[in-house]
Amino acid sequence: MGLRITYQCAACGFASGELSLGWGKGGRRHFWGGLALCPACKRLTGVNLARGSSEATDHRCTECRGLLVLLEGIANDVKCPRCETFLHPSTLGSWT
């Protein structure tokens, strides 16, 4: 079961929006949502890490086409891309 998560910064007001992370009943082959950051435009996003996906090797930002940096798991120690304060994750629910 995957999670729907948002990250927010109490210091500067940054918000990631809803991100779908993890995988559903179809397993990791169909969709495996991983957390990524675009250093160019400071966007926190989810990417499909599934091996069978055409997106699996091209991790580019949908906004600026910059190369994304993958972050470890669904981490609680993610720093704000704007001010470097630790972000507060909130679980919005789950998906299958």
Q: What is the pLDDT of residues 31-62, one digit of tens each?
A: 889 999 999 999 999 998 886 555 556 789 99
The pLDDT value given to residue 73: 64
- Residues contacting 36, CB < 8 A, separation 6+: 44, 45, 46, 47, 59, 68, 69, 70, 71
Read off the pTM: 0.82
User: Which pair of tokens denotes residue 69?
Assistant: 């940096």
What is the tally of structural domains in the chain? 1
Range of the domain at 48: 1-96
Range with the poorest average pLDDT among 3-17, 21-35, 58-72: 21-35
